[in-house]
């Protein structure tokens, strides 16, 4: 049996990090129970799971009169995510479309296929390798801001660092550059406020039939979306007037991209793609860094081992993606973090046609809920599912090959930015470990709470102890 560890102050291995309580029995059996599920899920999308959920592979359910299937079987989940019989649910489009427009994140069908193809050159390993200096700069910005502090709210610090990284990678703009409409600070502020506010699902998202129904009632989303579009449009216009002489960022690549008929992409599409990258990329990666640092703070032995890797090959020496192989444990820590705290905790699809999944009938409109949170802690799919054991990923050259590991989704709509996120997270985390030892300032457990991403129930303070640098 795994024994629990209560804090980082000297308890036993293996570490069983905090998680929300698991209900002994299903909640939603009676009408009152369904109301309880709605309330629990309103607080946190992972708040209503029961013991049975961690054992079953497929469980049909009815929720507020709508049929659904809770799917944990990895093969079937991958099949659903790869099948044209399913589409992203309406509520996801409603929450993000005002920010990402018709970009790849929310488009469907032929438009999506064409867009995904035109984006492929922006995310090749070579293109991601070209973005490493931006990630190194963002990591240095993070550690500079922490110098002289013995305590810090790292949840906020990582939000800032990942916004900085994505704004640098997209537009060569720093998140704290406050100059006029082109200043990264305006974009950073808008993106942060949108994701923390209007992006969250509201009641209308659950009742509306289409992505564009009743949107006149979503004033805040429309207002913030319009300001965001104006700022990104201005940046694109400015870049057209003053092009870079070499490819320095993703905007350069998007301006150079050609569609299937060899035509440049329209400005609106470029804007929507940039917005999609930002919306999909900054908070997910920020949360990954937060949970990884939390786990390392609770497990100082692993933290020291990861730091030794970084000391042997410091982030300043990284010049290409291959150099990241110098940190195998650090990379495994990030994968194990994505297993235990998948920062995209819920993947949903709505059936467009009848189907059958693992013997369960699927009618059109049925919601298929795939929860990386549950699948990654499933008792039939993982050994010691609740324990923090980064070594389980050490031998995996390709953890994507593990069928029950879905942090970035699967199928044709698998995360296009997975390589980007992993490179960024490794570099930023390595920079932090190189400069500081991290521990928790208090014993209070941090419980994950899920909305669009998996965040903490409170933002804890971390204690920081500077690491003495060896003389050069
Ligand atoms: C730890 C960080 C990240 C996690 C856990 C994550 C997770 C995911 C998941 C699970 C999906 C699939 C959703 C679905 O099938 O419904 C997805 C899609 C997507 N992600 Fe990520 N993501 C991360 C970082 C990024 C970054 C850094 C970018 C861009 C720079 C990005 C861009 C996208 C886009 C554009 C899509 C939509 C792809 C499509 O529909 O074709 N993501 N992500």
**Residue 158: which CATH number?**
1.10.630.10
Distance (angstroms) between ligand 1 centre and the Cα of 418 equals 7
Ligand 1 atom nearest to 347, measured from its CA:
16
Which among 278, 280, 350 is the best mutation to test ligand 1's pocket, defined by most ligand atoms within 8 Å of the CB?
280
* Residue 1 domain flag: no
What is the distance between the alpha carbons of residues 101 and 105, in angstroms, rounded to a whole number?
A: 9
Task: Give the residue numbers spanning the domain of 40.
Answer: 31-466
What is the distance between the alpha carbons of residues 160 and 140, in angstroms, rounded to a whole number?
A: 12
Is residue 2 predicted with pLDDT exceeding 80? no
Distance (angstroms) between ligand 1 centre and the Cα of 280 equals 5
Nearest CA to ligand 1 atom 7: 408
Residue-wise pLDDT tens digits, 278-291: 888 889 999 999 99
Q: List the structure tokens of 105.
A: 């994140």
Is residue 359 predicted with pLDDT exceeding 80? yes
Distance (angstroms) between ligand 1 centre and the Cα of 235 equals 23
* Helix spans in 313-367 (H): 328-340
Pocket of ligand 1 (CB under 6 A): 81, 88, 104-105, 116, 276-277, 280-281, 284-285, 288, 343-344, 347, 407-409, 413, 415-417, 420-421
The number of folded domains in the chain is 1
* Residue 236 domain flag: yes
* Residue 4 domain flag: no
* Residue 20 domain flag: no
* Residue 307 domain flag: yes
Q: What is the mean pLDDT of residues 112-134?
A: 92
What is the distance between the alpha carbons of residues 397 and 389, in angstroms, rounded to a whole number?
A: 16
Residue-wise pLDDT tens digits, 262-312: 889 999 999 999 989 988 888 999 999 999 999 999 999 999 999 999 999
Residue 236 CA, chain-centre distance (Å), reads 26
Distance (angstroms) between ligand 1 centre and the Cα of 148 equals 35
- Out of 200-204, 323-327, 411-415, least confident range: 200-204
With a pLDDT cut of 90, the percent of the chain lying above it is 59
Burial class (CB in 10 A: 0-12, 13-18, 19+), 415: middle
What is the distance between the alpha carbons of residues 3 and 19, in angstroms, rounded to a whole number?
A: 14
Classify the phi-psi angles of 461: left when phi > 0, otherwise alpha if psi is within -120 to 50, otherwise beta.
Answer: beta
Nearest CA to ligand 1 atom 19: 415
* Residue 19 domain flag: no
* Residue 23 domain flag: no
Distance (angstroms) between ligand 1 centre and the Cα of 395 equals 25
Of residues 349, 403, 363, the one with CA closest to residue 88: 349
Q: Are 65 and 38 in contact (CB under 8 A)?
A: no
Ligand 1 atom nearest to 414, measured from its CA:
12
Is residue 470 predicted with pLDDT exceeding 70? no
């Amino acid at each position: 049996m795994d024994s629990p560890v209560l804090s980082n102050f000297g308890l036993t291995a293996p570490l069983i990090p905090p998680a929300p309580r698991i209900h002994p029995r299903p909640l939603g059996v009676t009408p009152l129970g369904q109301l309880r599920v709605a309330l629990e899920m309103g607080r946190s999308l992972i708040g209503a799971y029961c013991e049975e959920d961690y054992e079953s592979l497929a469980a049909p359910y009815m929720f507020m009169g709508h049929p659904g299937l809770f799917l944990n079987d990895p093969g079937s989940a991958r099949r659903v995510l790869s099948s044209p019989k399913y589409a992203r649910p309406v509520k996801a489009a409603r929450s993000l479309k005002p920010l990402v427009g018709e970009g790849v994140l929310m488009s469907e069908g032929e438009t999506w296929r064409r867009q995904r193809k035109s984006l492929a050159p922006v995310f090749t390993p070579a293109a991601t390798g070209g973005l490493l200096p931006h990630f190194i700069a963002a990591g240095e910005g993070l550690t500079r801001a922490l110098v002289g502090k013995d305590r810090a709210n790292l949840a906020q610090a990582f939000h800032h660092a990942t916004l900085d990284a994505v704004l640098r990678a997209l537009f060569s703009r720093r998140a704290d550059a406050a100059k006029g409409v082109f200043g990264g600070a305006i974009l950073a502020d808008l993106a942060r406020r949108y994701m923390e506010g209007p992006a969250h699902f509201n009641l209308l998202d659950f009742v509306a039939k289409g992505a564009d129904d009743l949107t006149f009632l979503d004033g805040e989303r429309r207002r913030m979306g319009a300001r965001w579009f104006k700022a990104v449009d201005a940046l694109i216009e400015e870049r057209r007037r003053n092009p870079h002489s070499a490819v320095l960022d993703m905007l350069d690549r998007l301006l150079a991209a050609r569609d299937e008929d060899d035509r440049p992409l329209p400005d609106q599409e470029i804007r929507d793609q940039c917005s999609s990258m930002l919306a999909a990329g900054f908070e997910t990666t920020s949360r990954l860094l937060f949970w990884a640092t939390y786990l390392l703070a609770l497990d100082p032995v692993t933290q020291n081992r990861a730091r030794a890797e970084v000391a042997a090959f410091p982030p300043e020496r990284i010049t290409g993606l291959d150099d990241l192989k110098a940190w195998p444990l650090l990379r495994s820590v990030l994968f194990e973090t994505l297993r235990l705290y998948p920062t995209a905790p819920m993947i949903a699809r709505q059936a467009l046609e009848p189907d059958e999944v693992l013997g369960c009938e699927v009618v059109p409109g049925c919601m298929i809920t795939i929860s990386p949170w549950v699948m990654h802690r499933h008792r039939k799919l993982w050994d010691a599912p609740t324990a923090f054991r980064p070594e389980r990923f050490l031998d995996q050259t390709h953890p994507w090959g593990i069928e029950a590991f879905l942090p970035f989704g699967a199928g044709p709509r698998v995360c296009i930015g997975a390589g980007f996120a992993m490179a960024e997270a490794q570099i930023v985390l390595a920079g932090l470990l190189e400069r500081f030892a991290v521990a928790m300032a208090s014993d209070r457990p941090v419980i994950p709470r899920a909305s669009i991403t998996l965040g903490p129930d409170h933002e804890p303070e971390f204690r920081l102890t500077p690491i003495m640098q060896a003389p050069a």
